[in-house]
Structure 1
Amino acid sequence: MAKRKRLTAANPDYLGTAPEAPAPRIAPEPRSSSLPPIAQVAGEVSASAALGELSRAMEEARAEGRLVQAIPLDQIDPGHLVRDRIEAEEEELRTLMESLRTRGQQTPIELVDRGESAAPRYGLISGWRRLAALKRLSEEDDRFGTALALIRAPKTASDAYVAMVEENEIRVGLSYYERARIVVKAVEQGVFEDRQTALRTLFANVSRAKRSKIGSFTRIVEALDGALRFPSAIGERTGLDLARRLDENPGLAERLKEELRQTPAPDAEAELARLEAPAPAARPKAPKQERSPARSRDADGETAGARHIETIYDPDRGVLTLKGPGVDGELHAALQRWLEDRA
């Protein structure tokens, strides 16, 4: 067998200087995870589960009204409920606007979602002053075009009214008139069956004495709402006295309404003065009941003791009552003739 020859490398100087060969490119090895495939799969499943849990938590928070959302102002109906707050004082509103301009909205309002077909879609439950201030600011600055809100889901209309009243009771002291007005309006809207139920439900957390005073003010609301220009200025003492006089004098409400209609009060003080004044047609004070015996005469002109008649006169109510054995058909006919002649 022939012996193999060992080959040697060619002399690089034989054909001149050989060009330097470029360094060979070495492709980077693909990265390989240090984790085994089963660990990678487990990590992906865990991340997916965490994302799903977060999504469910967000949905629950939204459904339960715990998620603060930015809602465009034009999508909010401030008149969804009959408001307990009648008006906001200009100075008070400007102070709130300045706070919102400086610090932003710190406390969300409460809304109810009325459905996609409703326009506006959301109804205001509580936060009327904040919404009013934001609307004012939005006219000056586009940054205030939305309101931070919690979307509530009250089970009944009465729950929504309770939420509104409780929020205002905590944050802003309402006048007795405003409290009484929401009671009256809630009954008119059919939210509650009667006034007593509305009082007990809306003001369940106040004292019985305070509920009683609110109930007295409902008499003023029923008699004069719409005729008064400054109802929130009616204080406790003035209101309770006015409610009493309205009950005792059925004609007082109409007289006050007519007077306020013909000559509206220029300010709160003038209006209060009219409410505190006695009724225009009131007579001088007299005992509540004046009792005087009246004796009829018989055919000979002599008094008949058996026909004694007692009169009871109530000047505040304009009521004259006759009673006794002498009150009969003959007396009634005689009185009728006398009244016709006097007219």
Structure 2
Amino acid sequence: MAKRKRLTPAQPSYLSAAPESKSALGAPLATASAAPPSPIAPIAQVASDAAAQAALSELSAVLEKARADGRLIERIGLEQIDEAHLVRDRLEQDEDEMAALMASLRARGQQIPIEVVQLEDRPDGKTHGLISGWRRLSALKRLYAETSEPELATIKALVIQPASARDAYVAMVEENEIRVNLSHYERARIAVRALREGVYPNQKMALQGLFANATRAKRSKVGSFVALVEALDAVLMFPVAINEKLGLALVREITRDSGFTDQLISHLRAGRRDTPVGELRILSAAVSEAEKAALTRQSEPENVEPLAAGPRIREPLPAKDERINTQLAPGLRLGYTPGQHRIELSGAAVDERLIQELRHWLSQR
């Protein structure tokens, strides 16, 4: 009788993972028949990569949106910031306030970021221009110069993108108005400089744009100080020390007497004014002298002219406090203030040839 061949069962590993063999102590034993882990399906891998890429793109878009909106705080090297990117409204810094700010930065670090705008293709290597935060930047620069600590070599900043030069100037002015009040002279000076830079077409729009949140009375006082800035900014050494009462008195005399400005400039240049007190003494004396002269003229009898036969027609007077600023030609801008009897020409087109042509034209009038 033929001997039957005994059949063995199929290997379990062909259909499923083999059960782990255990030693007598219960520890699993490695067997040669253990199946390798099954690979991830290609479609699942593609879906995973696509999801990761989408998440990364979304995160990048969120960061770019935050940076564009000025909500992303970055650390920027102190040497990379151009603090003269805008004409600053602050003329001087109180040393006691600066010392207090430096002590706070040293003890608690920088709590409030500055605002900067990104610059491109600057030959000096500056990458950002300062919009607001000049005091914090100055204080950190002093601290870094004193200590050379690496953590003080950078500053926290919000990189903003102003829609126009007007927005940049308004951001600077509002930041200083909120934190530390400026003098009327400093406010008027930034309005004058913004007007000369062509940011605003006239003085009224400059005051309304830069000080939109100020009261009408405050804007009026700042507008009065504009005449003082235009007349004496080149010669004054301590203009911030001029208080409101003295400033308005100076403006009154400047607009009333066309020769007052020249006389005052002569007194300032000849006088001793190495301190604010010395300069204020010269200014106050000039105002007192002008007021006495005005009273003397009022007390003298005036020659009465005979009445004309016909009715007198009153001619309209130009607004004395309204400055006109227009672009005459490429590179040539004209500024005119009727109350100051002054015409200013500025721009790249102002050269020797233009001066000669103006002289010839004026001589033929």
After TM superposition, which residue ranges in structure 1, 4 or more long, deviate above 6 angstroms?
35-40
Mapping for residues 201-240 of structure 1, pairs under 5 Å? 201-240=209-248
AA partner of residue 88 (structure 1) = Q
Paired residues of 1:62 and 1:151 also in contact (CA < 8 A): yes
Name the counterpart of 2:181. 173
Change over 3 Å in CA distance of 1:135–1:145 after alignment to 2: same
1:101 aligns with 2:111: no
Which residue identity is paired with 2:279? E
CA positional deviation for 1:231: 1.1
What pairs up with 1:112-151 in 2 under 5 angstroms?
112-117=117-122, 119=124, 120-139=126-145, 140-141=147-148, 142-151=150-159
CA–CA separation in structure 2 for the residues paired with 1:133 and 1:24: 70
Structure 1: runs of 5+ lacking an equivalent: 5-22, 296-304, 307-343
For the residues of structure 2 that align with 1:2 and 1:128, how far apart are their CA atoms? 107
Q: Say if 1:255 and 1:280, in contact at 8 Å, map to a contact too.
A: no
1:198 alignment partner, one of 202, 206, 214 = 206
Could you tell me how far apart the structure 2 residues matched to 1:90 and 1:256 are?
30
> Relative to 1, partners in 2 of residues 1:24 and 1:57: Cα closer, same or farther, differing over 3 Å?
closer
Residue of structure 1 equivalent to 2:361 = none
- For 2:136 and 2:60, how far apart are their aligned partners in 1? 30
- Secondary structure, in 3 states, of the residue corresponding to 2:157? strand
1:172 Cα deviation after fit: 1.1
Alpha-carbon distance in 2 for matches of 1:293, 1:181:
42
Distance 2:267 2:36 in 1: 95
Secondary structure of the 1:277 match is helix
**2:72 aligns with one of 67, 74, 81:** 67
Q: Is the counterpart of residue 241 in structure 1 residue 246 in structure 2?
A: no
**2:193 & 2:3 partners in 1: Cα distance?**
121
Once structures 1 and 2 are overlaid, which stretch shifts more, 192-201 or 207-216? 192-201
Q: What letter matches 1:26 in structure 2?
A: T
Alpha-carbon spacing, 1:194–1:118, altered in 2? closer, same or farther (3 Å)? farther
Shift of 1:251: 2.1
Distance 1:159 1:292 in 2: 53
Distance in structure 2 (CA, Å) of the matches to 1:56 and 1:24: 52
Give the distance between the partners of 2:76 and 2:3, measured in 1 at CA.
96
Structure 1 counterpart of 2:296, from 286, 300, 308: 286
Q: Distance in 1 between matches of 2:204 and 2:186?
A: 16
Paired position in structure 1 for 2:53: 48
Gaps (5+ residues) in structure 2? Answer: 5-27, 308-365
Distance in 1, matches of 2:283 and 2:121, equals 47
1:251 is aligned to 2:259: yes
Q: Deviations over 1:132-162 (max 9, x none)?
A: 1111112122321111111111121111111
Instruction: Using the TM superposition, give the Cα deviation of residue 3 of structure 1 relative to its aligned residue in structure 2, in angstroms.
Output: 7.5
Cα 1:3/1:124, change in 2 over 3 Å = closer
Match of 1:298 in 2: none
Q: Is the 8 A contact 2:272 2:278 kept in 1?
A: no
Q: Does structure 1 retain, via aligned residues, the 8 Å contact 2:253–2:287? A: no
CA distance in 2, matches of 1:24, 1:108: 62
CA distance in 1, matches of 2:37, 2:113: 51
Counterpart in 2 of 1:336?
none
TM-score, length of structure 1 as denominator length? 0.72
Q: Which amino acid aligns with 1:257?
A: I
Q: Deviations over 1:250-283 (max 9, x none)?
A: 2222222222223342322332222222358656
- 1:52–1:294 CA distance, 2 compared to 1 (3 A): closer
Does the C-alpha gap of structure 1 residues 24 and 268 become closer, same or farther in structure 2, counting only changes over 3 Å? Answer: closer
What count of residue pairs does the alignment treat as equivalent?
278
Matched, 1:277 2:285: yes
Correspondence for 1:7? none
The amino acid that maps onto 1:267 is T
Looking at structure 1, the residues matched to 35 and 57 of structure 2 have their Cα atoms a distance apart, in angstroms, of: 36
- Conserved in 1, the CA contact under 8 Å of 2:176 and 2:182? yes
For residue 348 of structure 2, what is the aligned residue in structure 1? none
Instruction: Provide the C-alpha distance between the structure 2 equivalents of 1:61 and 1:136, rounded to a whole number of angstroms.
Output: 31
* Contact 1:96-1:133 at 8 Å conserved across structures: yes
Report the 3-state secondary structure (helix = DSSP H, G, I; strand = E; otherwise coil) of the residue aligned with 1:247.
helix
Cα pair distance change 1:57/1:94, threshold 3 Å: same
Deviation at 1:175, TM superposition (A): 0.6
Return the index of the structure with the highest Cα Rg.
Answer: 1
Is the contact made by 1:255 and 1:279 (CA closer than 8 Å) also made in structure 2? Answer: no
How far has the Cα of 1:31 moved from its partner? 4.4
* Counterpart amino acid of residue 95 in structure 2: E
Distance 2:105 2:229 in 1: 34
Distance 1:205 1:246, change over 3 A: same
Out of 126, 141, 157, the residue aligned to residue 165 of structure 2 is 157
- Residue identity (%): 50
